[in-house]
Chain A
């Protein structure tokens, strides 16, 4: 079994209210060093077999078509999971 990890982030120019809310909460907990927070999404897609170049290409296609909305989000990475990530259920 293989696993592909996809990271999607709001485009830099898009206001990210969730990130802003988190940024506002951090100092209240004593975390004072962070000047900005942005929140994105991580997807893990499993395949029955190895993660081949063809699988990565298919995931990349799905990431553009469904997992992200290119108007407001960027697919920042599509990659084979590390051994540690792949065994972490």
Chain B
């Protein structure tokens, strides 16, 4: 599989779900490439994932210190050049701090850490990371965060809606006070996507959320990863 797409997964000090993200990449028939926060080279990867966790202990603000690492300089440059970049949870926070995505994530309005299976609607099935879904499709993947409230000013929210850049929206209850039930957004070009819930925890039978089909059968997260690869291998 030497010609399999190579997907970089960045590990910051305090990253938690980097190995799960690598596994999700492997299960989608791509080759995961470990990228270290202090690297300055993306090793010619075809896409990059910023995983969940607590980079730098969430000190200062979630993602604020990770944003200024050398690997992020490379990620920001590559993202502006069109490289598919996915930020999951803490990775979403890093993308916002890096200004690759607008807005910010703040502490959940109810002040509790929340961990549950979360229903989402795919609001834009044309981004690099959602093109294997259908528009309006409903999926369930795990959510776990303490600072997942998405906020931006009204003008930014209006622009995101108008430009179809809200990619994922919470269904059956807003878990954290996110404005307009926003669970994930994209940049203007659609190559950079950030979301709070965790698709990498719903990629293999026996480990994902419960569904009507049985206990831990949910694998709705898988297509997030294969979506990016579909473009890379030119299917």
Which residues from chain A sit less than 8 Å from chain B, CB to CB? 14-15, 17-18, 20-21, 66-67, 69, 71-72
Contacts and interface: CB of A to CB of B under 8 A. Distances in A.
Interface of B: 60-61, 64, 68, 96-97, 102-104, 106-111, 149, 151-153, 177
B61 A69 contact: yes
A20 B110 CA distance: 10
Nearest to B177: A15
Contacts, number: 34
Contact of B104 (A17, A18, A66, A71): A71
A67 B60 contact: yes
A17 B111 CA distance: 6
B106 A15 contact: yes
A3 to B, nearest CB: 19
B97 A69 contact: yes
A15 B60 contact: no
B152 A71 contact: yes
A27 to B, nearest CB: 17
A17 B64 contact: no
10 contacts: A14-B151, A15-B106, A17-B106, A17-B110, A18-B111, A66-B64, A69-B97, A69-B104, A71-B102, A71-B151
A18 B102 CA distance: 23
Nearest to B97: A69
A66 B99 CA distance: 12
Contacts of B107: 17-18
Contact of B108 (A17, A66, A67, A71): A17
Contacts of A69: 61, 64, 97, 104
B111 A21 contact: yes
A14 B60 contact: no
A71 B109 contact: no
A36 B35 CA distance: 45
B181 to A, nearest CB: 16
A69 B153 CA distance: 13
B111 A66 contact: no
Contact of B60 (A18, A21, A66, A71): A66
A72 B179 CA distance: 13
Contacts of A66: 60, 64, 68
Nearest to A13: B153
B192 to A, nearest CB: 17
A72 B64 CA distance: 13
B160 to A, nearest CB: 13
A72 B151 contact: yes
Contact of B106 (A20, A21, A67, A72): A72
Nearest to A71: B104
A14 B149 CA distance: 11
